[in-house]
Amino acid sequence: MQGATLVLPAPAKLNLMLHILGRRPDGYHELQTLFQFLDHGDELGFALRPDGEIHLRTEVPGVPHDSNLIVRAARKLQAESGCQLGADIWLDKRLPMGGGIGGGSSDAATTLLGLDQLWDLGWSEDRLAALGLGLGADVPVFVRGRAAFAEGIGELLTPVELPEPWFLVAVPQVFVSTAEVFSDPELTRNTQPIKVRSLLEGGGRNDCQPVVEKRYPDVRNALILLNNFTSARLTGTGACVFGSFPNKGDADKVRRQLPATLPSFVAQGRNISMLHRKLNELAKK
């Protein structure tokens, strides 16, 4: 991050449940999901460039520079705002790709909020969230930074107050293709809508989980393993699986019992993302 003048987190998220209600004429799926953030994630650094160039200074294996969501987010904000300034961007990548915990979407949201600040654009959260939706359905929830019940394709957000337990997240070493999961003929697509109130009382499941378990034995095995200690569930379309615990000590204890071949981490669930807590701190200075 040497040279960065602004350093911001890009937190992970969990889908505590994910119901698929149907498929729309445009091919997207109508869904209901419950997002909560984790105090764990990537970190991005930003520095101003006067020449209008956007450079991601960190190479991401398997992702060409110009198709990285970070670069796409930066260029989109630059084009929409008419800003003549550019940026050097650094990435400390900690979240797995294809893990269902929002790595790419979170990086894009942090880029939008970070550059809004760096370039002194003064865009509203609504405007940034609308821009983010064009980059991915999960980007707006990270732009807004509040735990939320999401509907539509994930863009209609209702903020919610949830308990903030500790989560153990296991990271099977497979890349799950979201497109493959959503095109699987066996995917449940007719779950009845539920109200946010009944959801907060503990309802819900992940409709993608049976398909992912069938296609990816490593994910199924991780769920079986974690289910020995707590009720385990898939987040998003996977591959990460999680279980909740009342405190960090209990989560750490179970983590120590997982095999070394299954990477994992422990983090607290948060209703306000660590990105927004950091931005609020900076605003007070």
* Per-residue model confidence (pLDDT) at position 285: 82
The residues facing 242 across adjacent strands are: 169, 233
d(Cα 175, Cα 216) in Å, to the nearest integer? 9
Residue 201 pLDDT greater than 80, yes or no? no
Spot the catalytic one: 39, 42, 138, 207: 138
156's CB contacts (< 8 A; 6+ apart) are 150
32-45 pLDDT, tens digit per residue, is: 999 999 999 999 99
Three-class SS string for 72-132? HHHHHHHHHHCCCCEEEEEEECCCCCCCCCCHHHHHHHHHHHHHHHHCCCCCCHHHHHHHH
pTM: 0.95
How far does CA 283 lie from the centroid of its chain? 24
Assess contact for 149 and 199: CB atoms under 8 A: yes
Collect all residues with Cβ–Cβ distance below 8 Å to 226 and sequence separation of at least 6.
168, 170, 232, 241, 242, 243, 254, 258
Query: For the CA atoms of the chain, what is the radius of gyration?
Result: 19
The first and second tokens of residue 82, run together, are 């008419």
* Catalytic-residue membership of 138: yes
Report pLDDT for 2.
85
CB within 8 A of 86, min separation 6: which ones?
48, 49, 50, 51, 52, 53, 54, 55, 78
In the residue annotation, 93 being an active-site residue is answered as no
Q: Are 33 and 19 in contact (CB under 8 A)?
A: yes
In 10 A of CB 256, how many CB atoms?
Answer: 7
What pLDDT was estimated at residue 200? Answer: 73
Of the chain, the percentage scoring pLDDT greater than 70 comes to 99
Q: What is the mean pLDDT of residues 27-55?
A: 95
